[in-house]
């Protein structure tokens, strides 16, 4: 199915253009923002992509988030030390080139002996707070 975003002649006014998503082959309206149309082409594309996303990945993300939250509760000493590092870096009182990112978290995991974790450092950063 090929889609296209076009300006709707019915929903648009002289000063307020509105866009809808149609199927190129059939001309069928796939999404019209509940009859209001989208204010921009970009918003139409974003909304349609969100509405037609693979929802099975949402469950995986929720499970991973729950896993990280549970791990954080069980390892409060590590989380406290990591928060202190983050504050130090944010204030600039650590090194000028230090960044609190996944590399920093990986290094901290190694230092504290947390080597075989069921999530990556980037997943940890995404869900720990």
List, for residues 23-41, the tens digit of each pLDDT value: 999 999 999 999 999 999 9
19: its two tokens: 């866009």
CA pair distance 60, 70, nearest whole angstrom: 15
49 to each of 19, 30, 53, 55, how far by Cα in Å? 15, 12, 6, 11
Number of domains in the chain: 2
User: Same domain for 86 and 114?
Assistant: yes
User: Same domain for 100 and 65?
Assistant: yes
User: Same domain for 64 and 121?
Assistant: yes
User: Same domain for 67 and 122?
Assistant: yes
User: Same domain for 19 and 71?
Assistant: no
User: Same domain for 66 and 123?
Assistant: yes
* Of the candidates 79, 121, 80, the residue with the CA atom closest to the CA atom of residue 101: 121
Structural domain containing residue 60: 56-127
User: Same domain for 81 and 99?
Assistant: yes
Comparison of pLDDT for 129 and 8, the residue scoring more: 8
pTM value is 0.61
pLDDT digits (tens, 9 = 90+) for 35-87: 999 999 999 999 999 999 888 888 888 999 999 999 999 999 999 999 998 89
């Amino acid at each position: 199915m090929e889609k296209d975003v076009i300006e709707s002649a019915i929903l648009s006014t002289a000063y307020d253009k509105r866009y809808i998503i149609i199927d190129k082959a059939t001309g069928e309206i796939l999404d019209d923002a509940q009859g209001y149309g989208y204010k921009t082409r970009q918003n139409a594309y974003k909304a349609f992509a969100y509405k037609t996303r693979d929802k099975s990945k949402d469950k995986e993300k929720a499970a991973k988030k729950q896993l990280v939250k549970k791990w954080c509760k069980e390892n409060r000493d590590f989380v406290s030390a990591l928060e202190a590092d983050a504050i130090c870096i944010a204030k600039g009182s650590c090194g000028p080139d230090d960044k609190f990112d996944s590399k920093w978290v990986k290094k901290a995991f190694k230092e504290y002996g947390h080597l075989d974790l069921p999530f990556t450092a980037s997943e940890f950063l995404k869900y720990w707070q």
